[in-house]
Amino acid sequence: MRIAISTIVLGRRSVLRTLWWSGMGVAGGTVAPRLSLGESVGAHEDDSELIKKLTGRTPVASPRVHLDMPPVFSNGYTVPLTLEVDSPMIQTDYVRLVHVLAPRNPITLVGSFQFTPQSGRARVSTRIRLAEPQNVLAAAEMSDGTVLMTKTWVKVDSNGCA
């Protein structure tokens, strides 16, 4: 019933988020605090703002940036991540730097990966910590100055930052 009321009052994105968190609550038994958190953080506008602060450029969502992570992972201490940016990786056109951000971790910037034409391929795999379920962001600074971004939802069951 509570969810039905929210549907009328809040926008589409908020409703989706509410549904997410209530789903989380069934598993974890923590509906109330999650809902209040969900109101202020995590919206797409905030993601862009975060990346703009970091890179100085407004990012453009792009299918050229691939961030592969498991949608559900039990252990927040070591979540596999593979990122790849489609690029010829030649002197005149390559990926300079890719930032990975986890906005709901205590420290948002996870890492910055610097590529060169010598890389041949802008692809890297590593393992990261996630404090709670969230959208992980990847922002790629290209050699022409543009910033491309993508995000991937990951649900973890244990806090990897505790």
Partner 1 sequence: MVTVQPRVQAPSEVAKDEIFEVRTLISHPMETGLRRDESKHVIPRHLINKFTCRYNDAVAFSVEMHESIAANPYLSFYLRATESGRLQFFWEEDGGAVYSLASSVTVRG
**What are the residues binding partner 1 (CB under 8 A)?**
77-79, 89, 102, 105-107, 109-121, 123-130, 160-162
Nearest Cα neighbor of 148 from 160, 157, 139 is 139
Whole-number minimum distance, CB 4 to partner 1, in Å?
Answer: 37
Nearer to partner 1 among residue 48 and residue 84 (C-beta): 84
Extract the tokens encoding 112: 């910055």
Whole-number minimum distance, CB 111 to partner 1, in Å?
Answer: 5
CA distances from 62 to 2, 4, 146 (A): 36, 34, 11
d(CA 69, CA 86): 17
Nearer to partner 1 among residue 21 and residue 115 (C-beta): 115
Nearest Cα neighbor of 138 from 113, 105, 119 is 113
**Are the C-beta atoms of residues 85 and 148 closer than 8 Å to each other?**
yes
Whole-number minimum distance, CB 98 to partner 1, in Å?
Answer: 10
Nearer to partner 1 among residue 63 and residue 106 (C-beta): 106
**Are the C-beta atoms of residues 137 and 103 closer than 8 Å to each other?**
yes
| Residue 46, H or E segment | helix 44-55
Nearer to partner 1 among residue 67 and residue 79 (C-beta): 79
Nearer to partner 1 among residue 15 and residue 161 (C-beta): 161
Whole-number minimum distance, CB 16 to partner 1, in Å?
Answer: 25
Whole-number minimum distance, CB 107 to partner 1, in Å?
Answer: 5
DSSP annotation of 50 = H
